[in-house]
């Protein structure tokens, strides 16, 4: 295998330059490479701006306005005062953090009337890409012909660290390197990261989440999914921690905002940071997603959502406390249901299998390929079989430990204190500092309800232990003949980590020998047993196979590109900046139906139902609708357009991405995909996969006419339809 891997790297750039996309709208392209790879196709589809307008390091351009929003979403700069638009669901946890029963911004919305009213968000960041450079040769150029996978990984690590250091030397920038095409290519991203990002405005959830879970991932859609933030910088326009002295950031570029709207077949770009796709996994792996991974995740989340949803329905405070958590859990839950349905309906397994057969036939017919790639698919499949148990253990661990009962994470966080306390070389002052810091973070309990947490554990624990070593997880804890419900009852009754009062008083009276009390706490023990099993057994087992897996996937990727050059190849999403292009278009979702490409305020009103919290609009919306008071934001037909769909290939992380027209103007904010598109992280089908965006004119209408925040609209450069 060794020589094959190196050989693959060597010929990769050759393969790379011969790729031509077939399915016009499939692909998430690296901005610095669109000139070489797809700018011609984009122009042919109607783009009027140049590749340099989208990405350049010599002039300010659109990329300077596209901002990675706290690492998980995208946002866009729309004024020369750092005004930032993103989705409501991206700003949700921040809006939630500022909300209380007295000032319920989730429920009532929030609009800062001036700069001094904008709310700071400690811990948040907004990052702008300064430059993207291909560093493949710099990293792999000196790789010896016969290097092992471990030697390769070591070289990548060393070279990457050197390259990052020299790229940012003498600047205030940051940088990271990411592998593309499974490590056949490496790019460095140089970034400017801002830490003072303030909340400026958000509509009430009855607009920003209109349709809630029922409409999530669904078309036709009527959600006003946007929120408004602002980046602040120091007096030199450089990133700085929050300070009253900071001033609004002056970006190198901000997007003009179009009032023209969209028509069917209009060209669109989505520019943002898609998080993760698996478009090149094998047919066997797709089958595993369908028969193992997705069913298991759905089961776990169904259990926790059953508890959370019921608790939120019962109590207004719980509704605030669990709003962001519920959204986080239910969003992927619903996506996975749609994903499985779509993959089955569109026969993803057999389609992938057909491609693999073509691949194998061609490979077998050519000795040179047969030597290099003949066994790659079988090897991947054998490895999947070997790692399956551990992969499932990891999935269970993630679902239970990270998405399930919070006591596990909270109590687990005290292992640091135990270690510090046990270590004689650690001074008492250091321990005091740790304790004081923890005491300052008791805000955690603002959004915690021990009963809800206990019910979540009870609902999930039986699934979690399926096929897992229960005796190890409950070692020294479970009483003879105690069932898991009784065990859970006792854990929540005894653990100090489920009560702010208990943990506060414990910490306030802490001295180093009290670590034994932590070690004996049931919440802590359960957490520790589970995480230790993951760290000591599951993770090492997966790590052992990781090098083989990396090399197989790298070979598989390069091999496909070489053997089936007529297919489209773009790098899987990995949280880095991408451009996708497509057209505004409807689609036939199922037999006898055809979806239009836009929705209107009329449709918002059709769904309105004051008895249903998911569709309970603020009365002012009906007043505006009755008066048809849409101002300059109405479509040329006189109606108020709300959302539209297009055939851009997007993923999670593209939430909040600017949707840009052929002239380079902002026409919307991407926020979702349709039900039939949720499969696109694994298989994109341009005839049915559609991304959903909020029409930018609806954003402006809500700001101006609904919220009276026209001062924000005035900050933007509006481009009218007449121009």
CB of 651 to ligand ASP, least distance (A): 5
Task: Tell me whether residue 184 or residue 331 sits nearer to ligand ASP (CB atom).
Answer: 331
CB of 675 to ligand ASP, least distance (A): 11
310 neighbors 409 (Cβ within 8 angstroms): no
CB of 421 to ligand ASP, least distance (A): 41
Task: Tell me whether residue 130 or residue 673 sits nearer to ligand ASP (CB atom).
Answer: 673
Site for ligand ASP in 292-331 (CB under 6 A): 331
Task: Tell me whether residue 128 or residue 218 sits nearer to ligand ASP (CB atom).
Answer: 218
315: Cβ contacts below 8 Å, ≥ 6 apart: none
Site for ligand ASP in 324-353 (CB under 6 A): 331
Task: Tell me whether residue 88 or residue 458 sits nearer to ligand ASP (CB atom).
Answer: 88
CB of 250 to ligand ASP, least distance (A): 30
Report which DSSP code applies to 200.
E
Radius of gyration over every alpha carbon of the chain, rounded to an integer in angstroms: 26
434 neighbors 417 (Cβ within 8 angstroms): yes
CB of 604 to ligand ASP, least distance (A): 19
Q: Is 582 one of the binding residues for ligand ASP (CB under 6 A)?
A: no
- Give the number of other CB atoms < 10 A from CB of residue 389: 12
Select the span of 55-63, 419-427, 580-588, 652-660 touching ligand ASP (CB under 6 A).
652-660
Task: Tell me whether residue 31 or residue 656 sits nearer to ligand ASP (CB atom).
Answer: 656
Instruction: Note if the bond before 382 is cis, omega within 30 degrees.
Output: no
474: Cβ contacts below 8 Å, ≥ 6 apart: 487, 526, 529
Q: Is 208 one of the binding residues for ligand ASP (CB under 6 A)?
A: no
DSSP-derived pairing of the beta strands 578-583 and 267-272: antiparallel
190 neighbors 130 (Cβ within 8 angstroms): yes
52 neighbors 231 (Cβ within 8 angstroms): no
Phi, psi of 228 (to 5 degrees): -125, 130
Per the document, the length of the chain is 723
Report the alpha-carbon distance of residue 712 to residue 201 in Å, rounded: 9
CB of 67 to ligand ASP, least distance (A): 16
Site for ligand ASP in 656-675 (CB under 6 A): 671-673
- Give the number of other CB atoms < 10 A from CB of residue 136: 20
Q: How many helices (H) and strands (E) does the chain have?
A: 30, 20
Among positions 99, 651, 657, 693, the unique one binding ligand ASP when judged by CB under 6 A: 651
Select the span of 2-10, 14-22, 263-271, 644-652 touching ligand ASP (CB under 6 A).
644-652
3-state secondary structure of 669: strand
Choosing from 64, 196, 215, 225, the catalytic residue is 225
**What are the residues facing 275 on neighbouring strands?**
none
- Give the number of other CB atoms < 10 A from CB of residue 188: 21
Q: Would you call 205 a catalytic residue per the annotation?
A: no
Q: Is 650 one of the binding residues for ligand ASP (CB under 6 A)?
A: yes
3-state secondary structure of 189: strand
Residues that contact ligand ASP, how many (by CB under 6 A): 9
Please give the angle made by the CA atoms of 200, 203 and 206, to the nearest 5 degrees.
Answer: 155
Select the span of 407-415, 541-549, 626-634, 645-653 touching ligand ASP (CB under 6 A).
645-653
CB of 86 to ligand ASP, least distance (A): 11
Q: Is 572 one of the binding residues for ligand ASP (CB under 6 A)?
A: no
Taking alpha carbons only, the member of 389, 181, 397, 402 closest to residue 288 is 389
Task: Tell me whether residue 248 or residue 275 sits nearer to ligand ASP (CB atom).
Answer: 275
Distances, alpha carbon 690 to alpha carbons 61, 213, 224, 574, in Å: 27, 19, 18, 20
Select the span of 25-33, 163-171, 242-250, 647-655 touching ligand ASP (CB under 6 A).
647-655
Select the span of 19-27, 264-272, 618-626, 651-659 touching ligand ASP (CB under 6 A).
651-659
CB of 475 to ligand ASP, least distance (A): 38
In the chain the first and final C-alpha atoms are separated, in Å, by: 60
Site for ligand ASP in 672-691 (CB under 6 A): 672-673
Task: Tell me whether residue 83 or residue 645 sits nearer to ligand ASP (CB atom).
Answer: 645
Taking alpha carbons only, the member of 268, 274, 336, 270 closest to residue 305 is 336
Choosing from 68, 88, 89, 635, the catalytic residue is 89
Report the alpha-carbon distance of residue 511 to residue 281 in Å, rounded: 52
3-state secondary structure of 176: strand
Three-state secondary structure string covering 460-527: HHHHHCCCCCHHHHCCCCCCCCCCHHHHHHHHHHHCHHHCHHHHHHHHHCCCHHHHHHHHHCHHHHHH
CB of 120 to ligand ASP, least distance (A): 25
Select the span of 192-200, 363-371, 382-390, 648-656 touching ligand ASP (CB under 6 A).
648-656
CB of 72 to ligand ASP, least distance (A): 8
Among positions 91, 342, 652, 664, the unique one binding ligand ASP when judged by CB under 6 A: 652
Task: Tell me whether residue 434 or residue 671 sits nearer to ligand ASP (CB atom).
Answer: 671
Report the alpha-carbon distance of residue 125 to residue 71 in Å, rounded: 8
Three-state secondary structure string covering 217-266: CCCCCCCCCCEEEEEEECCCCCCCCCCCCCEECCCCCCCCEECCCCCCCC
Task: Tell me whether residue 352 or residue 649 sits nearer to ligand ASP (CB atom).
Answer: 649
Among positions 223, 246, 321, 655, the unique one binding ligand ASP when judged by CB under 6 A: 655
Report the alpha-carbon distance of residue 167 to residue 186 in Å, rounded: 14
Three-state secondary structure string covering 61-128: CHHHHEEEECCCEEEEECECCCEEEECHHHHHHHHHHCCCCCCCHHHHCEECCCHHHCEECCCCCEEE
Q: Would you call 89 a catalytic residue per the annotation?
A: yes
CB of 672 to ligand ASP, least distance (A): 4
Distances, alpha carbon 56 to alpha carbons 33, 64, 134, 268, 371, in Å: 11, 9, 14, 20, 42
Choosing from 655, 657, 677, 693, the catalytic residue is 655
CB of 59 to ligand ASP, least distance (A): 31
Q: Would you call 50 a catalytic residue per the annotation?
A: no
Report the alpha-carbon distance of residue 649 to residue 554 in Å, rounded: 23
Q: Is 654 one of the binding residues for ligand ASP (CB under 6 A)?
A: yes
Report the alpha-carbon distance of residue 552 to residue 562 in Å, rounded: 15
Task: Tell me whether residue 192 or residue 572 sits nearer to ligand ASP (CB atom).
Answer: 572
CB of 653 to ligand ASP, least distance (A): 6
Report which DSSP code applies to 573.
P
Task: Tell me whether residue 230 or residue 335 sits nearer to ligand ASP (CB atom).
Answer: 335
Report the alpha-carbon distance of residue 525 to residue 411 in Å, rounded: 9
Task: Tell me whether residue 304 or residue 654 sits nearer to ligand ASP (CB atom).
Answer: 654
Residue number with the smallest Cβ distance to ligand ASP: 652
Task: Tell me whether residue 249 or residue 336 sits nearer to ligand ASP (CB atom).
Answer: 336
- Which chain residues interact with ligand ASP by CB under 6 A? 331, 650-652, 654-655, 671-673
Residues marked as catalytic: 89, 225, 655
């Amino acid at each position: 295998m060794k020589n094959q891997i190196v050989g693959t790297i060597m010929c990769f750039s050759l393969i790379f330059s011969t790729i031509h996309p077939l399915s016009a709208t499939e692909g998430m392209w690296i901005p610095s490479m669109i000139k070489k790879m797809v700018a011609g196709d984009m122009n042919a589809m109607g783009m009027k701006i140049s590749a340099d307008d989208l990405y350049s390091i010599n002039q300010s351009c659109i990329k300077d306005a596209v901002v990675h929003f706290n690492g998980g979403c995208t946002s866009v700069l729309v004024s020369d005062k750092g005004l930032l638009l993103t989705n409501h669901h991206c700003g949700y946890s921040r809006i939630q953090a500022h909300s209380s029963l007295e000032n319920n911004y989730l429920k009532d919305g929030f609009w800062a009337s001036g700069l001094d009213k904008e709310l700071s968000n400690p811990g948040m960041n907004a990052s702008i890409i300064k430059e993207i450079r291909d560093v493949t040769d710099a990293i792999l150029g000196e790789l010896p012909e016969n290097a092992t996978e471990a030697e390769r990984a070591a070289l990548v690590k060393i070279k990457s660290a050197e390259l990052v250091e020299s790229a940012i030397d003498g600047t205030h920038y940051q940088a990271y390197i990411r592998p593309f095409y499974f490590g056949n290519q490496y790019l460095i991203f140089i970034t400017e990261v801002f830490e003072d990002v303030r909340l400026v405005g958000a509509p009430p959830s009855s607009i920003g989440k209109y349709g809630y879970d029922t409409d999530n991932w669904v078309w036709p859609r009527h959600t006003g999914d946007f929120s408004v933030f602002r980046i602040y910088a120091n007096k030199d326009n450089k990133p700085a921690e929050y300070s009253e002295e900071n001033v609004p950031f002056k970006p190198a570029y901000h997007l003009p905002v179009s009032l023209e709207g969209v028509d069917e077949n209009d060209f669109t770009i989505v520019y943002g940071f898609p998080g993760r796709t698996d478009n090149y996994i094998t047919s066997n792996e797709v089958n595993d997603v369908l028969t193992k991974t997705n069913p298991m995740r759905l089961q776990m989340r169904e259990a926790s959502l059953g508890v959370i949803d019921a608790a939120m329905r019962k109590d207004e405070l719980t509704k605030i406390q669990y709003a962001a958590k519920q959204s986080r859990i239910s969003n992927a839950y619903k996506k996975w249901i749609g994903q499985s349905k779509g993959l089955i309906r569109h026969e993803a397994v057999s389609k992938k299998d057909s491609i693999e057969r073509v691949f194998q036939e061609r490979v077998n017919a050519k000795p040179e390929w047969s030597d290099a790639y003949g066994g790659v698919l079988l090897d991947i499949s054998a490895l999947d079989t070997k790692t399956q148990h551990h992969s499932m253990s990891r999935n269970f661990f993630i679902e239970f430990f990270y998405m399930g009962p919070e006591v596990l994470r909270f109590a687990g966080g005290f292992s640091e204190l135990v270690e510090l306390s046990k270590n004689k070389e650690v001074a008492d002052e250091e321990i005091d500092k740790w304790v004081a810091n923890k005491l300052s973070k008791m805000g955690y309990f603002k959004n915690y309800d021990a009963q809800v947490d206990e019910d979540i554990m009870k609902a999930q624990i039986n699934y979690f232990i399926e096929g897992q070593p229960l005796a190890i997880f409950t070692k020294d804890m479970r009483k003879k003949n105690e069932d898991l419900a009784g065990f859970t009852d006792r854990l929540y009754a005894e653990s100090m980590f489920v009560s702010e009062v208990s943990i506060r008083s414990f910490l306030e009276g802490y001295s180093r020998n009290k670590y034994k009390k932590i070690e004996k706490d049931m919440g802590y023990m359960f957490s520790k047993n589970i995480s230790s099993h993951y760290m000591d057994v599951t993770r090492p087992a997966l790590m052992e196979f990781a090098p083989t897996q990396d090399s197989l996937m790298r070979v598989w990727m390069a091999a496909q590109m070489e053997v089936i050059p007529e297919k489209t190849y773009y790098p899987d999403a990995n949280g880095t900046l991408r451009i996708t292009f497509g057209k505004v278009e409807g689609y036939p979702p199922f037999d006898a139906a055809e979806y239009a490409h836009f929705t209107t305020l009329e449709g918002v009103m059709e769904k309105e139902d004051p008895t249903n919290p998911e569709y309970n609009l603020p009365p002012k919306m009906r007043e505006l609708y009755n008066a048809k008071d849409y101002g300059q934001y109405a479509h040329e037909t006189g109606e108020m357009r709300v959302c539209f769909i297009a055939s851009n290939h997007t993923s999670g992380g593209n939430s909040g991405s600017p949707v840009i027209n052929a002239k380079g103007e902002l026409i919307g904010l991407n926020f979702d995909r349709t039900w039939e598109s949720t499969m696109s992280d694994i298989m994109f089908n341009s005839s049915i996969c559609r991304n959903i965006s909020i029409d930018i004119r609806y954003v402006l209408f809500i700001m101006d006419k609904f919220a009276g925040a026209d001062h924000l609209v005035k900050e933007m450069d509006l481009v009218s339809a007449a121009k």
